[in-house]
Amino acid sequence: MILGAGIFQLAGIRRAADLGCEVITVDYLPDNIGHRFSNESVDASTTDVDAVLDAARRMNIDGIVTFSSDVATRTAALVGHHLGLPGPSVSTVDIMSNKSQFRRFQAERALPSPLSTTINDLGDVERLTQNWTEPAIVKPVDSSGSRGVHLVTAPLEWQAAVEAALTHSRTGQAVVESVVEGTEVGGDAFFLDGEMISGVVTSKYLEGFLVAGHSLPSHIPSRDQKRVLDAVSKTCRELGYIDGPVNFDVMIQQQRVVVLELSPRTGGNGIPDLIEYATGFDEYAATVHQALGRPVNLEKNSEQRGCGSAVFASQEAGRLVGLVDPDEATRTHPDLLAVYSRYRIGDSIPAHTHGGTAMGYVLFSCASQTEYLRKVETLPAILQMEVEKS
């Protein structure tokens, strides 16, 4: 059973099918693209634990996973716990999937982390205005894709930032954090019996808080990449997370590295695809095999190949009236590895305000960061995307 059937779960769904699994997708959107590649589908929210558990029991599943979805990780853990399936403990996932609990955990274990405080309602705005004098980041404790995240630099900005964060939180909580300066990187790791059998640090490209893409090999010095993976490994060891994928965002500073986010699932924006192309490690297959209690293939390339991903989106809402056919794009551009779009011609397109409003992403080969940036500049001409404004 795979929780989520959107564009960011599609590659994992197809890989599970290629492995010979009978795939059951769960999503509250019946028209989501992933359903087209599964054997059966369940019309339910991935956060509705009771509905997912009922379906899992009825369908007698052998394993449960999610790809690229923070909000579904707790459901996967709870269902796995009730059915005795492989997977992380609920208590571990609770910490990893709640930003307030994760910051508290880091502080208790003396792990580097931003200064932070939890807010429960708008009544906390006055306290923040009086006591928090430095720039701060306000974010929901249980959301992802930069939903409801704001940088506060002046007292008058607190009210709107807190309202946005609380609105995007399912539990009605938000966390306020000090701004951590440095170089932000992303990536995925995979653990087996407590050992990190794969760890890849990506160069991460941002537009404000929104992820614009990733590239490999990372331009970050190898010494700093090792520091990042050591910090991720230590944090997972302290959490008791010993098996499965981990997506991470880490800030590198001269004296320390700070783990900003750590999630028990594969990364979004094509990170597992990049890792497979660059290193030969099939993270999607490893995730499926681990969830089914099967041996994980540890094979990797002898040399890393260069590649990148880039998110594409519309800055304004409207109707999609033009977009290149993905198969045609990869046929005519040999360095283009794949084009994933969640929308088709005629669909209504939202304005790009958070990760959930991205239209899709592109994967391509590239030899360096300079070539990555050059190829990103050519993507609009390749995609031929046209949105008729509302």
- Is position 108 within any domain? no
Q: Do 214 and 320 fall into the same domain?
A: yes
Q: Do 43 and 58 fall into the same domain?
A: yes
Q: Do 155 and 278 fall into the same domain?
A: no
Given this model, what pLDDT does residue 144 score? Answer: 77
- Residues 278/300, Cβ–Cβ less than 8 Å: no
> In which band, very low, low, confident or very high, does the pLDDT at 357 lie, cut at 50, 70 and 90?
confident
Residue 192's contacts (CB-CB under 8 Å, 6 or more residues apart) are 242, 243, 290, 296
User: Which helix H or strand E contains 129, and what residues bound it?
Assistant: helix 125-131
pTM to 2 decimals?
0.94
- Residues 56/42, Cβ–Cβ less than 8 Å: no
- Is position 109 within any domain? no
* Confidence check: pLDDT of 290 > 80: yes
Given this model, what pLDDT does residue 302 score? Answer: 76
7-18 and 271-279 helices, crossing angle to 10°: 50
Residue 45's contacts (CB-CB under 8 Å, 6 or more residues apart) are 28, 51
Given this model, what pLDDT does residue 355 score? Answer: 83
Residue ending a domain, among 146, 178, 210, is 178
Q: Do 304 and 318 fall into the same domain?
A: yes
Given this model, what pLDDT does residue 354 score? Answer: 85
Q: In what order do the strands lie in the sheet with 24-27?
A: 40-43, 24-27, 2-3, 65-66
Residue 80's contacts (CB-CB under 8 Å, 6 or more residues apart) are 64, 86, 87
The CATH number that applies at residue 125 is 3.30.1490.20
Q: Do 174 and 187 fall into the same domain?
A: no
